[in-house]
Structure 1
């Protein structure tokens, strides 16, 4: 590993005894957890978009009635407005189930692994990759804020 004089701060330096394989394993675990963060964001987008669509149905119902089609307005109210997105669930319940069943346990486990196996030092794999890829003396390749080349 190529280390520059102004290397990473202590929080991003490998603790004594951590092997390359363990650093890579923790990096992989973190990458997987970060991917669940993205999935969760998409799930929240699904939740908000579904809610927006449901609220827009109020306007559609009013306009159908105004256009002289109360039977279609009533069909929208009866068949779609407030409908579950999956059996027994509105979108907020899907989000809560994901959070409780998958996201929180995953986040907790990843945090515990980093705490126990790496002394709480996060992103060691990335910090070491950054060190290896930096150009010595280049002002845009500093190890951390407030340092030079």
Structure 2
């Protein structure tokens, strides 16, 4: 049976080791900041879903209008064309503008603050909390529980 190649004493790779003197509370705080950022990445994905689904619905209205006209319901086709197709989803904005404002404002600020805090407090090391959690939860020597790839 082959043993796993591990860092000394089964430690994680150096980029996932806690810097000298970094306390538990700071590691916890940075872990929560990272978790919040991961949530914001998911939010951004949902925002892109909102953007794409709204566009898909808007284009589907073309088919509805065509079929309404074909069925002789010009009044409804005209209303949908006039009042809904191409309408702003929020005052003055289509979804792409909402996405751009989110990306350039809140999202960019969030990412930058997380990066700056991590750089200043942990030497830029990412996922320290998770790396330590992995150390606590894995079974050394067990296949599938290796420290590093």
Q: Same fold (TM over 0.5)?
A: yes
1:108 to 102, 108, 112: 112
Aligned to 1:84: 88
1:139 to 138, 143, 148: 143
Query: 1-side partners of 2:76 and 2:66: how far apart?
Result: 10
- How far residue 7 of structure 1 moved from its aligned partner, in angstroms, is 2.1
Aligned to 2:99: 95
Query: 2-side partners of 1:41 and 1:28: how far apart?
Result: 20
Q: CA RMSD in A?
A: 1.3
TM-score, with length taken from structure 2: 0.92
- How far residue 38 of structure 1 moved from its aligned partner, in angstroms, is 0.7
Secondary structure of 2:9 counterpart: coil
Aligned positions of 1:30-69 closer than 5 A:
30-69=34-73
Which portions of structure 1, spanning 4 or more consecutive aligned residues, are displaced by more than 3 angstroms? none
Aligned positions of 1:117-128 closer than 5 A:
117-128=121-132
- How far residue 4 of structure 1 moved from its aligned partner, in angstroms, is 7.7
TM-score, with length taken from structure 1: 0.92
Size of the alignment, in residue pairs?
143
Secondary structure of 2:67 counterpart: helix
- How far residue 5 of structure 1 moved from its aligned partner, in angstroms, is 2.6
Query: 2-side partners of 1:144 and 1:32: how far apart?
Result: 25
Does the 8 Å CA contact 1:4/1:136 hold for their aligned counterparts? no
Are residues 1:74 and 2:78 paired? yes
